[in-house]
């Protein structure tokens, strides 16, 4: 008789997936907040909206991944921080529109489920949700034999937040003379890693455990540093300060992201040397012979979040940020776009 084949024979272990759900439920429970209904394990995540204090509630959503930074996690066999990156890349994008994150879902796909690895990843997602004050209410863990290389996986995240229509931060009131405030990043965050890997591994021939004197630590420790989550900082600012625009500095760097929230008739002038640049950025620039413009449109260069404010409110906003433990600087201003100007962005 022919052998009776099972899903496990094809490389998919349903029993292991079921056990993982139990571990994920414990992590998700730590992220619960008002509005969460039920537990992880249903066909869909349930969340009850409270819009009693809003005139016109608007849902804001975002989806993103971690990108090739995952390659650093694979090389280091360390998986407890990339979940924070995943949450950050999603919730920061809705927070800059004034929305408070409500809930988060994740998608994890791998060739073969490894209980310890998956648990570490989801633990990081839970940590990120706690930082963002949003609930992990669902997700999907897909075992796909033959689709991914051994010990590799991919991640995607999905965040939903809520804001009153009258309080959406959309940049429409930004005018020439408004000031640009930069808020510190924790390092590279989750962008530019294809160039980072080329410089560090191909050009320099370094390993993740190589000690880099310029960084004062092993290379991998620098590269695996999680992305900052700014949602609570943003909520503190928009509550009672005149924040006219906010930009999350991700792919496209400082120059391309700020301009996304600036009216078409305006430009920006960024003051070089007006903020503290972490050592990893000049290290990469020197090692890869990367020119200034390429650095500014690829990396955050030490600024992970930008706020645009009226000039008279600049010091008050800086004081608020300092009081909440943030490092922040006035890094430029909004300008009138010159006729026939080649670019709306100036580095001065």
pLDDT tens figures, 281-312:
999 999 999 999 999 999 999 999 999 999 99
For residue 177 the two structure tokens come to 């003379």
pLDDT surpasses 90 at 13: no
Does pLDDT of 347 surpass 90?
no
Residue 232's pLDDT band, with cuts at 50, 70 and 90, is very high
Percent of the chain predicted with pLDDT > 70: 98
Find out whether 49 and 103 touch, Cβ atoms under 8 Å: no
Q: Give the model's pLDDT for residue 340.
A: 64
Q: Is the pLDDT confidence value at 4 over 80? A: no
Name residues whose C-beta falls within 8 Å of residue 331's C-beta, 6 or more positions apart in sequence: 180, 181, 182, 270, 271, 274, 275, 303, 306
- pLDDT at residue 5, rounded to an integer: 66
pLDDT (tens digit per residue) in 117-162:
999 999 999 999 999 999 999 999 999 998 999 899 999 999 999 9
Higher pLDDT, 146 or 338: 146
Length of the chain, in residues: 348
Q: What is the DSSP letter of 53?
A: T
Give the whole-angstrom CA distance, residue 286 versus residue 300.
Answer: 16
**Predicted local distance difference test score (pLDDT) of residue 94:** 97
Q: Are 248 and 93 in contact (CB under 8 A)?
A: yes
Least confident of 117-121, 166-170, 308-312, 341-345: 341-345
pLDDT at 242 over 90: yes
Residue 1: pLDDT band by 50, 70, 90 thresholds?
Answer: low
Alpha carbon distance 205, 199 (integer Å): 8
Is pLDDT at 18 greater than 80 in this prediction?
no
Closest among 56, 123, 60, 122 to 92, alpha carbons compared? 60
Domains and CATH numbers, the chain: 13-36+56-164 (3.30.1330.10), 178-347 (3.90.650.10)
The rounded mean pLDDT for the chain is 92
């Amino acid at each position: 008789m022919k052998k009776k084949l099972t899903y496990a024979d094809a490389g998919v272990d349903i029993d292991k997936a079921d056990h993982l759900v139990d571990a994920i439920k414990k992590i998700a429970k730590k992220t619960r907040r008002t509005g969460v209904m039920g537990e992880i394990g249903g066909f869909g995540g349930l969340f009850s909206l409270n819009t009693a204090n809003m005139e016109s509630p608007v849902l804001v959503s975002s989806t993103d991944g971690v990108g090739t930074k995952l390659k650093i996690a694979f090389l280091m066999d360390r998986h407890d921080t990339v979940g924070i990156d995943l949450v950050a890349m999603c919730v920061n994008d809705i927070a800059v529109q004034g929305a408070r994150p409500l809930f988060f879902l994740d998608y994890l796909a791998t060739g073969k489920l490894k209980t310890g690895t998956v648990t570490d990843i989801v633990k990081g997602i839970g940590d990120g949700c706690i930082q963002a004050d949003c609930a992990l209410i669902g997700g999907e863990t897909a075992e796909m034999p033959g689709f991914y290389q051994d010990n590799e996986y991919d991640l995607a995240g999905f965040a939903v937040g809520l804001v009153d229509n009258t309080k959406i931060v959309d940049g429409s009131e930004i005018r020439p003379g408004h000031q640009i405030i930069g808020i510190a990043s924790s390092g590279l965050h989750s962008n530019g890693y294809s160039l980072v890997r080329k410089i560090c591994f191909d050009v320099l021939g370094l390993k993740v455990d190589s000690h880099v004197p310029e960084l004062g630590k092993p290379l991998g420790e620098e590269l695996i540093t999680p992305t900052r989550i700014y949602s609570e900082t943003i909520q503190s600012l928009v509550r009672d300060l005149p924040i006219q625009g906010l930009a999350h500095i991700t792919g496209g760097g400082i120059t391309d992201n700020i301009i996304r929230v600036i009216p078409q008739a305006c430009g920006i002038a960024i003051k070089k040397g007006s903020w503290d640049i972490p050592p990893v950025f000049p290290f990469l620039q020197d090692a890869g012979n990367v020119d200034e413009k390429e650095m500014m449109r690829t990396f955050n260069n030490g600024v992970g979040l930008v706020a645009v404010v009226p000039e008279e409110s600049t010091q008050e906003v800086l004081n608020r940020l300092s009081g909440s433990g943030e490092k922040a600087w006035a890094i430029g201003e909004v300008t009138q776009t010159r006729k026939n100007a080649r670019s709306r962005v100036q580095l001065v």
